[in-house]
Structures are given as C-alpha cells and as structure tokens.
C-alpha cells in the first residue's frame, strides 16, 4: 500500500476553443502523501486553477488528453460521473477561488449548509448541525452565524464558514484555491493557520493549497510545486524551494518578492522581463526560455523532470550548470 | 492643529469624512476621522490599512472626487475646497492625478491607446503641435515602446502594460502629486516590482510626491520613505518607514506586523492568533493612555495613544 492520497501521472488537460487548444496543464506528474499540505505556486494564467479543475470539476471546455489521476488508489479520470459524485465532499473537496462571493444572498447560512449536504446524500439532522456548531467554534464563530445572511458577514468570516462547510464530512483531500487572496493580512494568517490546524487535528487528510503568494506557502506548506505556463518547473520541500531554489524561474520569482527589511534605497529588486507565452497551440520546448537568461538552442526541446535528490525535482536542462555558476 | 510645514506641497489637516445612509440618512459611517499629514516633493508615502480602514476615501478626498465633512486639504498654500470653477479644477488636475487598482476596468475597451492619450491631451488644452512627440515621450519614460503600444486595444496588452499606460497618462500632465491606490495588487509578483521601481524613479527624477495606498506591508516597506498606518478611519501611527517598522507601538500596527507573511520567518503556530482580539487590545491601549492623543515617541514617529 502506498502512502499517497493522490497520484498524478503525466496529466494533460487542455481547453478546446475555435482557434485550437489551450495547453493549460501540460504533462504534470506529482504525488500528495498522507497528511501533507502541498502548496501550488505560480503566476496568473500558469494553470494552477486548471490543475484543480482537472482533478475535480470535470466540465467542458476543459478536456483531458492523457495521463492518470488516482485518488485513494482509484482512477478518478475514467470514473463515471455518478460514482465520482459520491466521492465529492466525502473524499475530495474543493474550495474554489472567489467562493466568498458564491453564497446565495437569499438563503441563510443554515439553509445553505442543509441544502449542500442533502445534495450529497447526507441528512442534515441534529447530529450534523451539532458538528457544524462545534466546528464553527474552532474558527471562533458562534452558532448565531447560522441564522444570518451572507451579506451580514465580513470576508474573513465568510471564508471561515466556507472552510468549515467544505470539510464537514472530513474529506481525505482538500483543494483550496486562493482562499487567502481576497482577505486582509490578519484574516489571511488566521485562515491559512486554520487549514494547517484542520490537518493536524485529522479533520482533513491532505491538502493542495493553491496561491500566487509564495510567502503564505512558506508559512504552512510542507512541499511546494511551482508552475509556469502550464508546466511543472520545480517541486520540493518548502525550505528547499524558498531558501535554495534551483530553477531559473523559481530563483527569479523569489528574488522579486519584497520583504520587510528590504527598501529600494538599500537593495533594488528586479522583476522578470517580458510576459508568459500564450498557451494557445504552444509547441515544444521549455516555456520559460523566452525570459530565461540561461536559455540556449537546447531549450527548444522540452526538458524532462529530473531528480535533484529524493525529494526535489526540477525541469531544466541547465540546473547543474546554473548551480555551479551561482555558487562560483 | 499644526501649521502646514513650509516644504510640503500638499498638507492634509484634520480631515474627516462622514457618510450618511439609510432612508432618512440617519445612519452615519465615519470613514475618515481627524487625519493629518504632509506630502513633500521627491518622497513616497505609503498609506497602509485593511479593507474598510478609509485609505481609499483619503485618496478620493485629495482627488476631489468627494467633499470632506470637515478639515482641510491645502495644495501649495491654498485650500482645495476653494476651487470653484472648471478652469481652476482643470489646473488642479494638471498637478494632482490618480491611478487605481483595476487596469482592465479603467480603459474603454473600444478605444485604442493613442485615442485615450489624445483625448486626455486635448481635454487639458495643451499645445497641439507637439502632441505626438509628448505622448511618445511619456510612453518611453514608463519603458513602453510607443510603436508597439499606440495602435493596440486594451485587451491586447497585459495588466502590467496597462498599469504603465495609466502612469504614463498622468505624466502627460506635469504632476506634483500622484495618488496610487492599490496599483499593483492585481499584478503578478514578477511584473509588479517593475511598476514599483518605476514609481520610485519617477518620484525621484521629477520631484513628484506619491501617496502609495496599499494593504501589503512588504511592498510599503520597499517603496516608501514615510509610512501612515490606518485603522477604522484613524491614522494610528505615522512616521519614517524604518522607524515605524522597527519599533511599532500601536497594538494595531503590532498585529499587522505579526500577521504579514514573510519568507524569512514563520508564524508561531502555537501562539493564539485571532484578528478579532485587536479590537479589545486597542480599547485597552486607549484607556490606559487616556488623554494622551497623538504623541511623538521619537523624531519622525507619531503614535495615537488615545482616541479623544
């Protein structure tokens, strides 16, 4: 028996539009082990939300090209919709981006919860509601929020309610897409910490935490997966990725992060020149090569995922050379 | 109330804005209360606060988009409330301009970039003979290639490029004051640093004064010479950026610094952290220090010790 909750192998998920195919997730391979929080980082349009959709939403215009996804040892890509429906919320749960704005304005929170669980074949009885109230206390909300409308709650409170609702059936795997992005810094810390606490308390098994903000990932993720233009460029333990990044993109991304203690007068940060390529009908080759200072003709061919060590993998032709170049 | 210092271009004194709402306009919201600060040439001030703290309202008040309930905004020795006619207002906008958060929503999707710039240029009644040259010049100063930009529609440009265009638009005028309200919060990490550096360069080379409104403490530290911290409509702490960040005094400022994610230190997961606690902490802080009001704790570092 493997200890992996999720196994993704060579996943390709494209969007089909009139002009061709948008290769938003292209050949991605990774695992999520039991009890782990895997952070997924990348800039807008890099395919991180598509990756989440590919795992759970299964709707056109997104369609699969190839690859396998196993959740708890079961192939979820070729699973019939009816069967997959039974796994949702119980085994795999998603907090989509902008979930904050997805509450019905005419329903009280209590009604929203009962409708949701009933939809998944669970009776919203006394026992379940007691559990909801108990969980709400974990996020410092009292039961009175159940009788309020969503407009009466602040953004931070709504996000806490969402965190509780989507984990109410104790899913083995939770996908959290940009759950801290629309929040104030104080709520951001609370919600992110809460997610880690839910994991520690065994309420959720593992989680995939998607955000553009590497500094939040550094706080709670065990490992970080960095995406660029639909490709996985680097994956490894959090401290390794942040303190010792190897891929030229990860290096540049971390170097561009402003931090308390760094002021323009003392140290001028640099961004990355140019913009990511369009993913429409994109061809062979490393997709970072247009912006990469180390790119050569060799980068016209796609690099494969290589192991730096047992934990750390990277997709770059020149990572060894860059390594010695930087340390020299 | 202190006298505006001589070297500031714009001084805000005791600024207060109360919004009224409800059927009989009897519900009042104090958005900004008794705020004072100075803007000096060639410096960047960051105005930091969470949502609902009133930071955008201050920007709008300075841009004369809304009227203050009380207090003054003095630009070059003159209260802007005295601006009455259109001509005077246009003169004011030649000197004071704003750039906002969402570059995708700001542009008319049917206008090409050159048309946007022409309209702005014409409406301010500048000399039409060197219009084209001036437009090309401002685009170059924000590191955009005029030939590759002017004929394009907004949807053909990236967020970073659009935000540069908006900054370029303000440079058509000879601005003294730039209000930058969350200008980079919608941009990616790798592109936003370019906009920050651009603002620093323009500020220093043109002697502009920038009010950089943000919720992001890391960005505020990087870009600003001076920091203003807002909480529930009040300026609770202000001063030299390094001093405020190294020695925060107000409980709200302390809480902000504790929650900012940083790649050098991790949050203490064992520490009980609740954003709600700060309300009580501030209350206690004010009652312990009752009657003190604003006090200078060190040179260029002022803290609000009690809410009078």
CATH number, domain with residue B133: 3.40.50.300
Q: Does A44 touch chain B (CB under 8 A)?
A: yes
Å between B235 CA and nearest CA of chain A:
18
Query: What pLDDT does residue B247 have?
Result: 95
β-sheet bridge partners, residue A209: A39, A176
Query: Residue A186: which of B197, B223, B255 has the nearest Cβ?
Result: B255
Q: Does A311 touch chain B (CB under 8 A)?
A: no
B5 domain-assigned:
no
Domain that holds residue B142: 10-304
pTM score: 0.89
Cβ–Cβ under 8 Å, residues B182 and B100: yes
CB-based contact A264 B223, cutoff 8 Å = yes
**Which residues of chain A does B221 touch, with a Cβ-Cβ cutoff of 8 Å?**
258-263
B156 domain-assigned:
yes
B277 domain-assigned:
yes
Q: Is the dihedral of CA B151, B152, B158, B160 positive or negative?
A: positive
d(CA A204, CA A194): 11
Query: What pLDDT does residue A1 have?
Result: 44
pLDDT at B265 over 60: yes
Report the Cα B243 to chain-centroid distance in Å. Answer: 20
Å between A111 CA and nearest CA of chain B:
26
Instruction: Share the mean pLDDT of chain A.
Output: 91
CB-based contact B256 A185, cutoff 8 Å = yes
d(CA A36, CA A24): 25
pLDDT at B2 over 70: no
CB-based contact B191 A258, cutoff 8 Å = no
Query: What pLDDT does residue A327 have?
Result: 66
Cβ–Cβ under 8 Å, residues B135 and B117: yes
B4 domain-assigned:
no
d(CA A255, CA A266): 15
Query: What pLDDT does residue A258 have?
Result: 86
To the nearest whole percent, how much of chain A has pLDDT over 70? 99
Query: Among B157, B186, B188, which would you mutate to test the A interface (most chain A Cβ atoms within 10 Å of its Cβ)?
Result: B188
Å between A119 CA and nearest CA of chain B:
33
Query: Among B255, B275, B282, which would you mutate to test the A interface (most chain A Cβ atoms within 10 Å of its Cβ)?
Result: B275
pLDDT at B299 over 90: yes
Place of tokens 């930087």: A326
Query: Residue B222: which of A184, A190, A263 has the nearest Cβ?
Result: A263
Q: Is the dihedral of CA A168, A170, A174, A179 positive or negative?
A: positive
d(CA B258, CA A306): 38
Strand-pair category, B301-304 with B234-240: antiparallel
pLDDT-derived band at B4 (thresholds 50, 70, 90) equals low
DSSP of A163-226, one letter per residue?
HHHHTTT--SEEEEESTTTTS-HHHHHHHHHHHHHHHHTTSSSEEEEEES-HHHHHHH-SEEEE
Q: Does domain A4-327 have CATH number 3.40.50.300?
A: yes
A and B: number of Cβ contacts within 8 A: 128
pLDDT at B146 over 60: yes
Of A49-53, A198-202, B4-8, the range with the highest mean pLDDT is A198-202
d(CA A193, CA A188): 8
Query: Residue A189: which of B223, B245, B259 has the nearest Cβ?
Result: B259
Q: Does A89 touch chain B (CB under 8 A)?
A: no
Query: Among A97, A137, A155, A184, which would you mutate to test the B interface (most chain B Cβ atoms within 10 Å of its Cβ)?
Result: A184
Q: How many domains does chain B divide into? A: 1
B1 domain-assigned:
no
The one-character DSSP state at A88 is B
pLDDT at A194 over 70: yes
CB-based contact A216 B217, cutoff 8 Å = no
Q: Does A252 touch chain B (CB under 8 A)?
A: yes
Query: What pLDDT does residue A129 have?
Result: 93
pLDDT at A61 over 80: no
**Which residues of chain B does A189 touch, with a Cβ-Cβ cutoff of 8 Å?**
258-259, 261, 267, 273, 275
Coil, strand or helix at A270 = coil
Sheet with A62-71, edge to edge strand ranges:
A20-33, A4-17, A62-71, A74-75
Query: What pLDDT does residue B6 have?
Result: 64
**Which residues of chain A does B223 touch, with a Cβ-Cβ cutoff of 8 Å?**
258, 264
Per-residue pLDDT, averaged over A207-221, amounts to 94
Burial zone of B121 (CB within 10 Å; 0-12 exposed, 13-18 middle, 19+ buried): buried
Cβ–Cβ under 8 Å, residues A168 and A133: no
Strand-pair category, A223-228 with A37-41: parallel
Query: Among A44, A263, A266, A272, which would you mutate to test the B interface (most chain B Cβ atoms within 10 Å of its Cβ)?
Result: A263
Query: Residue B222: which of A212, A242, A264 has the nearest Cβ?
Result: A264
């Amino acid at each position: 028996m493997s200890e992996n909750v999720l196994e993704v192998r060579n996943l390709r998920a494209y969007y089909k539009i009139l002009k061709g195919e948008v290769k938003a997730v292209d050949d991605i391979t990774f695992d999520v082990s039991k009890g782990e929080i895997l952070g997924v980082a990348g800039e807008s349009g890099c395919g991180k939300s598509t990756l989440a959709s590919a795992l759970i939403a299964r709707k056109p215009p997104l369609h699969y090209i190839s690859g396998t996804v196993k959740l708890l040892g079961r192939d979820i890509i070729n699973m019939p919709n009816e069967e997959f429906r039974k796994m949702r919320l119980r085994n795999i749960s998603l907090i989509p981006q902008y979930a904050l704005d997805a509450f019905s304005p005419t329903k009280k929170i209590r009604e929203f919860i009962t409708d949701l669980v009933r939809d998944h074949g669970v009776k919203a009885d006394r026992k379940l509601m007691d559990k909801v109230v108990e969980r709400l206390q974990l996020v410092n909300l009292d039961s009175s929020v159940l009788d309020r409308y969503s407009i009466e709650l602040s953004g931070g409170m709504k996000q806490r309610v969402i965190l509780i609702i989507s984990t109410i059936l104790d899913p083995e795997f939770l996908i959290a897409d940009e759950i801290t992005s629309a929040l104030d810094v104080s709520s951001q810390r609370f919600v992110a910490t809460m997610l880690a606490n839910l994991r520690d308390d065994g309420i959720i098994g593992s989680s995939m935490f998607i955000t553009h903000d590497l500094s939040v990932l550094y706080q709670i993720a065990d490992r970080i997966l960095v995406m660029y233009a639909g490709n996985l460029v680097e994956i490894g333990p959090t401290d390794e990725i942040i303190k010792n990044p190897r891929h030229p993109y990860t290096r540049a991304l971390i170097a561009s992060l402003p931090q308390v203690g760094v002021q323009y007068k003392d140290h001028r940060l640099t961004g990355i020149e140019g913009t990511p390529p369009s993913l429409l009908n994109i061809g062979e080759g490393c997709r970072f090569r247009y912006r990469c200072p180390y790119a050569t003709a060799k980068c016209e061919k796609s690099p494969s995922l290589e192991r730096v060590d047992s934990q750390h993998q990277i997709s770059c032709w020149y990572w060894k050379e860059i390594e010695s170049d930087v340390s020299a | 109330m202190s006298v505006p210092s001589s070297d500031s271009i714009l001084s805000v004194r005791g600024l207060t804005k109360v919004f009224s709402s409800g059927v009989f306009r009897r519900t009042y919201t104090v958005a900004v209360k008794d705020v004072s600060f100075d803007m000096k040439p060639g410096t960047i001030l960051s105005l930091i606060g969470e949502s609902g703290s009133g930071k955008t309202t201050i920007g709008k008040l300075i841009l004369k988009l809304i009227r203050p309930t009380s207090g003054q905004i003095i630009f070059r020795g003159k209260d802007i409330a005295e601006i009455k006619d259109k001509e005077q207002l246009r003169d004011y906008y030649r000197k004071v301009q704003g750039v906002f958060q969402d570059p995708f929503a700001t542009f008319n999707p049917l206008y090409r970039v050159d048309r946007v710039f022409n309209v702005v240029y014409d409406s301010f009644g500048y000399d039409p003979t060197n219009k084209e040259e001036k437009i090309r010049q401002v685009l170059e100063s924000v590191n955009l290639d005029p030939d590759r930009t002017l004929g394009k529609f907004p949807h053909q440009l990236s967020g970073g490029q659009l935000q540069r265009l908006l900054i370029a638009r303000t440079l058509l005028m000879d601005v003294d004051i730039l209000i930058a309200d969350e200008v980079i919060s919608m941009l990616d990490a790798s592109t936003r640093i370019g906009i920050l550096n651009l603002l620093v360069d323009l500020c220093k080379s043109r002697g502009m004064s920038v009010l950089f409104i943000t919720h992001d403490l890391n960005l505020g530290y990087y870009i600003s010479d001076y920091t203003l911290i807002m909480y529930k409509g009040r300026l609770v702490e202000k001063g030299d950026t390094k001093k405020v960040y190294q020695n925060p005094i107000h409980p709200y400022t302390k809480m902000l610094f504790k929650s900012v994610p940083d790649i050098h230190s991790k949050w203490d997961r064992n520490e009980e952290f609740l954003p709600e606690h700060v309300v009580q902490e501030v209350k206690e802080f004010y009652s312990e220090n009752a009657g003190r009001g604003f006090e200078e704790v060190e040179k260029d570092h002022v803290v609000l010790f009690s809410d009078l």
